[in-house]
Amino acid sequence: MGMFCNCKNLSDLDYSNKLEILLDNKLALWDVIASCNRIGSLDSNIQNEKLNNILKLLDNYKIERICLNGNKAYSAFKKYFPKLLTKYECYKLPSTSPANARYTLDDLYNGWSKALC
């Protein structure tokens, strides 16, 4: 996949350059959970989650691969869209959240590049 696989420092880019890389690589970003209540930043504190309309997204666009950013995204996707896990090429990936300190940048790069390159 184009420029993404050669770029380890995406955080150094401005928003418009990040969008350009996504478009050039035919990538879409969308949260599984559209809104929720949460005290603090822990995913385990999420309550009253409302989902994005993933089924409509998949109906409207040719999507072949779904990458789920961290345990919460994966568990919500699995809970609400279990049939999609076998219908699409799905990857449970290490969270890119700054709160996820157990992964180094190299760990994240290696995990994500397997799914995206």
Higher local confidence (pLDDT), 108 or 88? 88
**Is residue 79 included in any domain, yes or no?**
yes
Task: Specify the CATH number for the domain of residue 64.
Answer: 3.40.470.10
23 pLDDT higher than 60: yes
How many H helices and E strands in the chain? 5, 4
**Is residue 7 included in any domain, yes or no?**
no
14 pLDDT higher than 90: no
Q: How far apart are CA 106 and CA 101, in angstroms?
A: 12
**Is residue 23 included in any domain, yes or no?**
yes
Summarize the confidence of residues 66-82 as an average pLDDT. 92
Q: How many domains does the chain have?
A: 1
**Is residue 70 included in any domain, yes or no?**
yes
Domain of 100 in residue numbering reads as: 13-116
50-73: per-residue pLDDT in tens?
Answer: 999 999 999 998 888 898 988 899
